[in-house]
Structure 1
Amino acid sequence: MIGIIGVIVIFIMVFGGYIAAGGKMAIILKSLPYELMIIGGAAIGAFVISNDVPAIRHTLKDIGKVFKGPTWRPEDYRDLLCLLFELIRLARQNPVGLEEHIEAPAESTIFANYPRILKDKEAIDLICDTLRSASMNYDDPHQVEEVLEKRMDSNRESALHSSHALQAMADGLPALGIVAAVLGVIKTMGSIDQPPEILGRLIGGALVGTFLGVFLAYGIVGPFAAKVGDVTQEDAHFYQLIREVLVANLHSHATNICIEVGRQNTPSHIRPSFSELEEALKDVKQREAV
């Protein structure tokens, strides 16, 4: 929602200020389709050249993050801690019983209680792979932490590609605006014998290209790239929480301590309170007792 508000404010302030100063939209609207074709077409073409098909699809999908915001809500972090609590406790009480849950999470009664988390393949794979490795005696906490850190760095770098691709497009748009403006000047020079009022309109139309390139770069595409990057970094906290809890488990801390380590390493604006988490864990224990 905040993304939509931001876009509306940009358009109102830029074009409202132009009109309030006595500017006429007619010359912009007349040149806009052709300038947009040159600038937008060249930008899209450069984007396609610079990225493969999966990256293009990924970027187009991630544009929605500008308006939707982060994937994970504060209650999802609470649910993740509850899920990890159930799995760690089961791993210590009944290691054999844990196997059926981590080998087939889609059929697990534990994972079924957390449908939003179950839909995320990376989160499920991260949890199951780490618990499976621990059951195979690959349980040195320092080695596991290093492996998980490298895995998450790789995933984060891949996820940030959309932001980098959009920023690269934003960086090129002002130059493409100049290209469109130069073409407009070339067109104007072909009408150099025309009266000043006609030449003025032609030059004004040519300058629309420069305006459009800079406006799209710093008013639209650049902020989109920054927002996609911020949302991606925000969502990365979810996977970092998994790492913190599972590594604490390998240090043989008590289950409640493992969960508290994860809670305290979660950023404050999405961190469940101690009492909120305590109530959620009580519900988990009651569900297990039934």
Structure 2
Amino acid sequence: MFIIIGIVVVLGCVIGGFLMINGPLGALIQPSEFVVIGGACIGATIAANPLKYLMRILAVLPVALKGSPYNKNTYSEVLRMQYDIFVNSKKGGLLSIEDDVNNPLASSLFTKYPSFIANHHAVDFFCDAMKMLVNGACSPEELEIMLDAELETHHDEAAIIPALLNRASDALPGLGIVAAVLGIVVTMQHLDGPPEELGHHVGSALVGTFLGLLLSYGMLAPIAANIDNLGQDESKYFNCIKAGLVSFANGAAPSTAVEFARKTIYSFDRPSTTELEPLLKEIKPR
């Protein structure tokens, strides 16, 4: 949502300022410049990246347009989910939640937390770790190393699309110059024409440089930064889950494990102990 608002503000201010100095709006509408700059940018992006990265752009953009799903309510829910699982594990033993972690979508424990269960990456991350504990397949130290490796991979993967878009953004000013040079080439063919005609061609050529800069710094670079911020938000969410898991694996009480997880959350998204404690007290082991 904020991507759309930001782009509208950028275009509104740029075009509005141009109109304030009595600039002719029609002079900025140069379809040929859009074809040269946009087409060359898309072609270069296709040439530079494998298909799996290009398809990933289509998956990430709708998420970026919606904005980050991670807020205080989301974190409050994932903390309550962890507490619920940990309390039941303490009461009935780890084997009592084996069916839940093997099939979380059908589990009465997990389905109580819609924002968590809708995030299949988070569900897999948490349940895979709990399976290791249920099966006794690793020590707490090994679990932490394993989770760190998964988080590092997740972070690297999340950085692919912002880097891709930043490279495309960096190319746009240069492609704008290409379009401008082509416009100057056309202008040189009309040197014997009237000044009005020469001015029209030169103006059209300069629009290419303008569009390259505007599309780069006013649109594509901010979109890349927004997607990068989304990736960081998601990494923080996963770190919260990891902190709770590792603490519980090391023998901490459910409330202590949840507090470890809570401490990893940024202050503007972190539920306070006053807010969280009544919610945790409502959770009863089955």
Scaled to the shorter chain, the TM-score interval is over 0.9
**How far apart, CA to CA, are the structure 1 residues paired with 2:148 and 2:256?**
21
**How far apart, CA to CA, are the structure 2 residues paired with 1:280 and 1:52?**
47
After the TM superposition, which residues 45-60 of structure 1 pair with which residues of structure 2 at under 5 Å, given as runs? Answer: 45-60=43-58
In the alignment, which residue of structure 2 is the partner of 1:109? 108
2:179·2:205 contact (CA, 8 Å) conserved in 1?
A: yes
1:59·1:165 contact (CA, 8 Å) conserved in 2?
A: no
After the TM superposition, which residues 1-290 of structure 1 pair with which residues of structure 2 at under 5 Å, given as runs? Answer: 1-29=1-29, 32-94=30-92, 95-285=94-284, 288=285
**How far apart, CA to CA, are the structure 1 residues paired with 2:59 and 2:124?**
22
Number of positions where the alignment pairs a residue of Structure 1 with one of Structure 2? 285
Q: What is the TM-score when the length of structure 1 is the normalising length?
A: 0.93
**How far apart, CA to CA, are the structure 1 residues paired with 2:56 and 2:129?**
27
**How far apart, CA to CA, are the structure 1 residues paired with 2:59 and 2:98?**
35
1:139·1:250 contact (CA, 8 Å) conserved in 2?
A: no
Deviation at 1:162, TM superposition (A): 1.4
**How far apart, CA to CA, are the structure 2 residues paired with 1:244 and 1:122?**
16
- Matched to 1:244, the amino acid is A
**Closer, same or farther: CA 134–151 of 1 in aligned 2, 3 Å:** same
- Matched to 2:18, the amino acid is Y
SS of the residue corresponding to residue 68 of structure 2 reads coil
**How far apart, CA to CA, are the structure 2 residues paired with 1:191 and 1:271?**
65
- Matched to 2:27, the amino acid is I
Query: Deviation string for 1:234-279 (max 9, x for gaps)?
Result: 1211111110000001221111100111111111111111122112
Indicate the percent of aligned positions where both proteins have the same amino acid.
32
Which segment is superposed worse, 55-64 or 207-216?
Answer: 55-64
SS of the residue corresponding to residue 22 of structure 2 reads coil
Query: Deviation string for 1:202-255 (max 9, x for gaps)?
Result: 011011101100110000101111111011111211111110000001221111
1:83·1:114 contact (CA, 8 Å) conserved in 2?
A: yes
**How far apart, CA to CA, are the structure 1 residues paired with 2:52 and 2:89?**
38
Deviation at 1:3, TM superposition (A): 2.8
- Matched to 2:278, the amino acid is E
- Matched to 1:248, the amino acid is S
**How far apart, CA to CA, are the structure 2 residues paired with 1:157 and 1:71?**
20
SS of the residue corresponding to residue 109 of structure 1 reads coil
SS of the residue corresponding to residue 112 of structure 1 reads coil
SS of the residue corresponding to residue 282 of structure 2 reads helix
Query: Deviation string for 1:7-52 (max 9, x for gaps)?
Result: 12211211111121222112222xx211001100111111122222
Which segment is superposed worse, 64-73 or 112-121?
Answer: 64-73
SS of the residue corresponding to residue 241 of structure 1 reads helix
- Matched to 2:7, the amino acid is V
**How far apart, CA to CA, are the structure 1 residues paired with 2:119 and 2:65?**
20
**How far apart, CA to CA, are the structure 2 residues paired with 1:51 and 1:155?**
19
In structure 2, the gaps of 5 or more residues are none
Deviation at 1:284, TM superposition (A): 1.7
SS of the residue corresponding to residue 23 of structure 2 reads coil
Deviation at 1:139, TM superposition (A): 4.2
**How far apart, CA to CA, are the structure 2 residues paired with 1:130 and 1:8?**
44
2:236·2:264 contact (CA, 8 Å) conserved in 1?
A: no
